[in-house]
Amino acid sequence: KLLAMKMLLLLIALLSAALRASAAPPTCYSRMLSLSKEITESFKELQTSKDVDSCVETLPRLYLDIHNYCVLAKLRDFVAYPGCDRVVEVNELKEKARSLYTILISYCRRDLVFLTDDCNALEVPISPPMEHS
């Protein structure tokens, strides 16, 4: 009975190790990409929320593309924006933006290639393509 228990534990340990090995660890690039999408989505939700302070309407637009060199200035401007300090959701969003900025300029700067420097592209959200039925 003890041998069967040891074999079962060994099998569970091997399966667990195999599952972990098959999952790719996050890369700097994937972290930047996911955080930029998370920030953009949070900003959209904040803008459309009915229960949020009216100062949110005055916030700088926050549509992020980490392949656009202007994203650095966009993040700096958003974090430095003086309004809405009393709104918890805005402070949380600013903290995420600060984290992304830090990742972009220090930890992952070698992993990122800027494909454009079109600052106007960060002012208007890109609409998803229309699906034809």
Residue 84 region, left (φ>0) first, then alpha (ψ -120 to 50), else beta? left
CA–CA distance, 97 with 56 (Å, rounded to integer): 16
The mean per-residue pLDDT over the stretch 72-85 comes to: 89
Residue 128 has pLDDT above 50, yes or no: no
pTM beyond 0.85, yes or no = no
Q: Give per-residue pLDDT as tens, 3-57.
A: 777 777 777 777 666 555 545 557 888 888 999 999 999 999 888 887 777 888 8
- Delimit the domains of the chain by residue range: 26-122
Give 95's contacts (C-beta < 8 A, 6+ positions apart): none
Q: Give per-residue pLDDT as tens, 86-117.
A: 888 899 999 999 999 998 888 887 777 888 88
Residues 69 and 117 sit within 8 Å (Cβ to Cβ) = yes
